[in-house]
Chains A and B, each alone.
Chain A
Amino acid sequence: MHSMNNPNFFLGIESTAHTFGASIVSNYGKILSNEKDIYIPPTGKGIHPRDATQHHCEKSPQVIWRAFKEANLNPKDLTAIAFSAGPGLGPSLRIGATIARALASFLNKPLVPVNHAIGHIEIAFLTTGSKDPLVVLVSGGHTLITAYAGLRWRIFGETEDITIGNLLDMFAREIGLSPPSGVSVEQKASYGKKLVELPYSVKGNDVTYSGLLSASLRRFRKGDRIEDLCYSLQEVSFSMFAETVERSLAHTEKKELLLTGGVAANKRLQEMLRIIAKDHNSKFQVVDPKYSGDSGAQIAWAGYLAFKQGIRIDIDKSYVVPKWRLDEIEWKRL
């Protein structure tokens, strides 16, 4: 164990989708810097992997430079370099991985692959002090309910098709709202008055959203008010998921409920889960909003935790893993 005077530092590089992020954290959980640059697609378009890659290529040198400057750290003083190895868009992932490999090779530091979902979960633990929660991870890539047991994150419920992030993105894109779509939909929803009848599809602890997306777009083309549709889409999709969270909470009887991921910043979703947690005498916690969206910090911190349990990867084997499920990973919670 190192003394407080002699902390270790970890660089985390995030590039799973539209965010390129770099962050430096210490082994004491201090986030010294968390820099990022987000690729924003034109209104009406989604993230094109090629354009996101181009963006990451252009922005990554300054983002990394800023991360070192903000942390006031010499790269030579790093203990290891962590990168998000997946899941995510292949071309985007490869940019972060290439940079991480180059730095690890040049500085002669160990390279640590990190699962992006583990990053979302661990940064939420760090910023809330949660102990043994039921975790709700909601983002562009994930919509799932999980709890830790027997060296693994066990999935209790998830989406069987698209995520809440996908749903909001695709809906916003089709009706011409500007990105970031979650924020746009939330703003429009606040002016909504009428609950439009939309399909509510819950299967045990699972949800499916593709039918809801099609139905919402159909109603849009028929001329329903955008505000009412945003309101209804948000209410129905969040209620569906909240219901499965409540079912999982009743089943697992966990005393903490921890919300993380990009959509965790949504006030309405927070409100729903807060009510549910209270009803089941469970403590509701939300990741610090600074770290709800994709960030280098989640990778740096999870990278340190991975490093501590002995996870390293040789540069010549450090492939990215675009498809990498949370429950495939053996993970020690230390």
Chain B
Amino acid sequence: MEEIVNNSRNLIRKGAEANLYLANWHGKKVVIKQRVPKHYRVLDLDDRIRKYRTYHEAENLYLARKYGVSTPIVLSIDDINYTIIMEFIEGDRLKEVFKRMTDEERAKLSVQIGELIGKLHKNRLIHGDLTSSNMIISEYDRIFLLDFGLSFQSDKLEDMGVDLHLLRRALFSTHHEYAKKCFTKIKVGYSKEVGMNAANNVIKKTEQIERRGRYCIQREI
């Protein structure tokens, strides 16, 4: 493992959480996700966060797949370098894919995204950082969810509400031209998966969370 981690690897992306390297692992194309030390944080805090997130990401990547949501398969975990080796997913990030799609294609994909989130929530899994950077559209429009570093298990309405709120905001900031339509479709897919009643409760919570933003007219304080 050390050898692969340190040799013959190409940095493909510098995320906020970790560096991603492309490598060959026993003849298989893999991604090495290494949570490198973040020098802006003090050592103690940095170590605590990297450790916690490496474990939880690996665990929840596995759980998500168990619940029927495509995620890269975890091949190995290294708890000294805070590194996860996982399957490489061929495809483009939703961020790019959305931009080149037609309205109908986006609508269809949005419903599917809603269904995937529904599947996670139905099984008490919260992604914690749903954005268009954290989804890859692979062959045959198969959607892979990535970056489970902030994920956790919970059946609280609040946590599900925040999950949808973050996705909504990511859409409205990065894809403002068609964010509204997409989010409507995501809600449709979500409702299909978790049921109308449950979905309405979560969506109501999401709206309530939006109003917590500073200087919102409807904010109570």
**Chain A residues closer than 8 Å to B131, beta-carbon distance:** 204-205, 251
Q: With an 8 A cutoff between CB atoms, is A314 at the interface?
A: no
Q: With an 8 A cutoff between CB atoms, is B41 at the interface?
A: yes
**Chain B residues closer than 8 Å to A247, beta-carbon distance:** 16-17, 129
Q: With an 8 A cutoff between CB atoms, is A206 at the interface?
A: yes
In the assembled complex, 12 residue pairs joining A and B whose CB atoms fall closer than 8 Å, in A order, are A154-B172, A154-B176, A161-B212, A163-B214, A203-B162, A205-B166, A249-B16, A251-B174, A272-B41, A275-B40, A323-B215, A323-B219
**Chain A residues closer than 8 Å to B80, beta-carbon distance:** none
Q: Are A202 and B172 in contact (CB under 8 A)?
A: no
Residues 40-79 of chain A, each 1 if its beta carbon lies under 8 Å from chain B, else 0: 0000000000000000000000000000000000000000
Q: Are A147 and B216 in contact (CB under 8 A)?
A: no
| Given contact pairs A149-B176, A235-B41, A200 touches B215 in the complex (Cβ within 8 A) | no
In whole angstroms, how far apart are the Cα atoms of A149 and B38 in the complex? 30
| Given contact pairs A204-B150, A235-B42, A323-B216, A250 touches B166 in the complex (Cβ within 8 A) | no
| Given contact pairs A200-B45, A276-B40, A250 touches B173 in the complex (Cβ within 8 A) | no
Q: With an 8 A cutoff between CB atoms, is A280 at the interface?
A: yes
In whole angstroms, how far apart are the Cα atoms of A163 and B14 in the complex? 28
Q: With an 8 A cutoff between CB atoms, is A158 at the interface?
A: yes
Q: In this complex, what residue of B is CB-closest to A238?
A: B40
Q: With an 8 A cutoff between CB atoms, is B169 at the interface?
A: yes
CB interface residues, B 121-178, toward A, < 8 Å: 128-131, 133, 150, 162, 166, 169-170, 172-174, 176-177
**Chain A residues closer than 8 Å to B42, beta-carbon distance:** 195, 235, 239
Number of interface residues of B (CB under 8 A): 36
B interface residues (Cβ-Cβ under 8 A, vs A): 14-17, 38-42, 44-45, 49, 95, 128-131, 133, 150, 162, 166, 169-170, 172-174, 176-177, 209, 212-217, 219
Total cross-chain contacts (CB, 8 A): 111
Q: In this complex, what residue of A is CB-closest to B52?
A: A200
A interface residues (Cβ-Cβ under 8 A, vs B): 86-87, 141-144, 147, 149-150, 152, 154-161, 163, 195, 200, 202-206, 235-236, 239, 242-243, 246-252, 271-273, 275-276, 279-280, 322-326
Q: Are A239 and B40 in contact (CB under 8 A)?
A: yes
Q: Which 8 A-B pairs have the closest CB atoms?
A: A247-B16, A204-B166, A272-B40, A154-B173, A87-B215, A246-B16, A275-B40, A250-B16
Contact of A142 among B130, B133, B176, B214 (CB under 8 A): B214
| Given contact pairs A195-B42, A276-B40, A204 touches B176 in the complex (Cβ within 8 A) | no
**Chain B residues closer than 8 Å to A280, beta-carbon distance:** 14
A199 to chain B, nearest CB (A): 12
Q: In this complex, what residue of B is CB-closest to A281?
A: B14
Q: In this complex, what residue of B is CB-closest to A144?
A: B214
**Chain B residues closer than 8 Å to A239, beta-carbon distance:** 40-42, 45
Q: Are A275 and B166 in contact (CB under 8 A)?
A: no
| Given contact pairs A87-B215, A141-B214, A239-B41, A160 touches B176 in the complex (Cβ within 8 A) | no
In whole angstroms, how far apart are the Cα atoms of A147 and B174 in the complex? 9
In whole angstroms, how far apart are the Cα atoms of A248 and B17 in the complex? 11
**Chain A residues closer than 8 Å to B177, beta-carbon distance:** 150
